[in-house]
Amino acid sequence: MTIPIRKDEDEEIFSFISNEFHDELPRPSPPKKSVQELFSLTGKVAVITGASRGIGLAIAEQFSQAGASLALIDYLDCSKQQLDLMNDDNLVKSYQCDVSKSDQVESTISKIEQDFGTIDIFVANAGIVWKTGNIIDETNDNYKGYDQLMGVNLNGVYYCARFVGRIFRKHGKGSLIITSSMSAHISNVPMNLTPYNVTKAAVKHLAKSLAIEWAGFARINSVSPGYSDTGLNDHLSRSFRGKMWSLIPLGREAQPFEIATAYVYLASDAASYVTGTDILVDGGYTAI
């Protein structure tokens, strides 16, 4: 059944869109730049959660190479990574924070704003994996692992978005990039990862929804990595990982730097017209 929309209702909807996002249409386009200028992050302040290793560290390395100043957030100590990434052209600081705790996220983001003056780019990357199998197994009876997973992978991203979004709104600009997963698109095998899949689907849609709500002052996107050689799968046997490789058209896991390039693009002016989208970097896994 199709419910007709009256003309006045239709006009009200479009009036909301215009008033919510735009002062005047069309909005101004950015100036044309060279490719090198478009992908440069020089002069920008970037925050990365889960920055101590894996994809987060690879993002930090590439952002640094592109000229950004960095605030590294992790549950673990990032002081060594901070020293490794420092150079004469950018400022790098590290902060310990449990992103599943809203008060810690709020105080950490506030401290970063004080230290750097602003935040231009925020990568909500911190996440943990599900290792306890089927949800009906006895190993999952106490819900501890489930609550922890939701706390980091979903609530943590929500808290980060909420507090950095206020800074973006204040300055009228910003780029939020959320790490989702190919697990947001499919039920991946051969592992039982249902709770993990749910968290990644949720943050993928969080990015899409915020892209609409924040269209007037920020770009919001997500990246969905496939199986990656970050150390998180080292507990799996080689024969089991072999099954994974056989399901990937490119026949291997991604190296972290191959994932990180998508973040450089989304953070840069090269993606000035990109918001509300998700970039899959999965070696073709979800194409099957």
Catalytic residues: 181, 196, 200
74: left (phi > 0), else alpha (psi -120 to 50), else beta?
Answer: beta
| Helix, strand, or coil (residue 192) | coil
Q: Is the dihedral of CA 5, 6, 7, 10 positive or negative?
A: negative
CA 206, CA 188: separation in Å to the nearest integer?
21
CA 32, CA 38: separation in Å to the nearest integer?
9
Tracing tokens 């009036």 back to the chain, one arrives at 15
Interior angle at CA 184, CA 258 and CA 125, nearest 5: 50
The span from the first CA to the last CA of the chain, in angstroms, equals 35
Q: What backbone phi and psi angles, to 5 degrees, belong to 163? A: -80, -35
CA 173, CA 234: separation in Å to the nearest integer?
40
For helices 102-116 and 156-171, give the axis angle rounded to 10 degrees.
30
